[in-house]
Amino acid sequence: MVNQIQQCVKKPAETIKTIQFSLATLSIHLYFVSYALSVVNIPSALAIQPDWIIGIVVGAHGLAGMISRPLIGVWVDSGKRETWVKIGGVATTIAFVGYGLSLDPWIMILFRITHGIAMGAFTTGLLAIVASHIPEKKRGLGIGTYQGGNAVAQLYTPPIAVLIALNSSYEISFLLGACAAALALFTGIFVLDKDPPVLSKHNKVPWKKREWISKPALLPAMVFVTMTTTVGAISAFLPLFALERGLGNPGLFYTVWGFTLLISRFSSGFMGDRYGRTKVILPTLLSGTIALFILASAESQTIMLLAGALAGFALGSVQVSIMSIIIDNTLTSSRGSAMATYTLAWDIGAVVGGILLGFIVNMTSYSFGFYLVGLLPIIGTGLYIFGVQKSQLKIDRDKSRD
């Protein structure tokens, strides 16, 4: 009788099909609807500006996030994680209203900084909360499902964003982004943390001794940086590259990219749970390199879309695998810091792929820039093999015995 009661108690923890998990997935979907609007239309709205200015405006988002993310991680682990979701959602909405008020690049930079900090607060807080709703044995599948929410946004938002800008204005497009961010906030406030940090006078850690950068997450995040930098480069320069080579609507690239991103997040999560993260992550890192090389040489829309399909598949697989590895190795009380370190990879990728690459592209070409960042996933493969794989293989073996 006691065993039966214990089984009933444990059963809910083994499923991810909960209302709050569904609300979190919807919230991140709506948030990335707004983000996709900015990714496609900010570079296009600044098309008359020099490439280095476009790189600064696009990269300012990531630079702000990169500087603020460690502090956000500490904050998320220091109190109610739901609070930071609210703060991030409100600030993101304000940033999009700012984009809609002025297309002057120097004014837009201020709102890009606001957006970068806000995105760190929203995504870090929500991700730490979502991790508490996913059972360990279904971690890859749960993360893949949650991240699938933003992949779906990539399916339809980019081409619609281009059409809105062409038939109406960039300002209207950004105001619609503000509406999507507000809806993401409204949905996200109903998601509650099942495993919040337990704080008291006895276990308070001084600020100087807090975990600003998560040690278990650091190396996996560095591997992920080699993929996010390719995304930063694509976000900053694909619309102009497509225009230069006559490749058609660049929004279609993001649609194909989002479709394979969605498939890979679901499939790689399941495969990682069943066969181990290592068997998923190594081939897909190399796929990221191939995708950028194909894009750099594209002379037709078909080739551009092929590159988009491969890039989405590679990013989704690496992202889910890396996030699962980080959660596998992190205590629940430190998940805010771990998720901040993980999401910091996005910000570094935006800075390197946007701002720094902008100066290189200005002196060379878009094609050369894509070839250059395409080498990074090869470096990521080396980092994984010599830095992450040893500890991960032990976890994978333990799971296979279970």
Angle at 392 between CA 276 and CA 77, to 5 degrees: 110
Q: Which residues, at least 6 apart from 303, have a Cβ–Cβ distance to it below 8 Å? A: 294, 295, 297
Tens of pLDDT, residues 338-349: 877 887 887 788
The 10 Å Cβ neighbour count of residue 290 is 15
Distances (CA, A) of 267 to 45, 141, 290: 36, 8, 20
Is residue 4 classed as helix, strand or coil in its secondary structure? helix
pLDDT value of residue 354: 75
In angstroms, the CA 32 to CA 84 distance is 17
Specify the pTM.
Answer: 0.71
Looking at per-residue pLDDT, the higher value among 380 and 138 belongs to 380
In angstroms, the CA 267 to CA 255 distance is 19
Helix residue ranges, H only, 102-138: 105-131
pLDDT value of residue 274: 78
Mean pLDDT of 47-57: 82
pLDDT of 8 higher than 50: no
Mean pLDDT of 40-69: 83
Tens of pLDDT, residues 168-207: 889 999 999 999 999 999 999 988 887 776 655 544 555 5
Mean pLDDT of 143-168: 84
Closest by CA to 128, choosing from 395, 350, 342, 318, is: 342
pLDDT of 382 higher than 80: yes
DSSP characters for 187-227? HHTT---SS-----TTTPPPGGGS-SS-HHHHHHHHHHHHH
pLDDT of 88 higher than 70: yes
Closest by CA to 237, choosing from 250, 225, 224, 248, is: 250
Tokens 């979701």 identify what position?
Answer: 85
- Banded model confidence at residue 325, pLDDT cuts 50, 70, 90: confident
Q: Two tokens at 214?
A: 């998560």
pLDDT value of residue 202: 44
**CATH numbers and ranges of domains, the chain:** 19-194+213-401 (1.20.1250.20)
pLDDT value of residue 102: 87
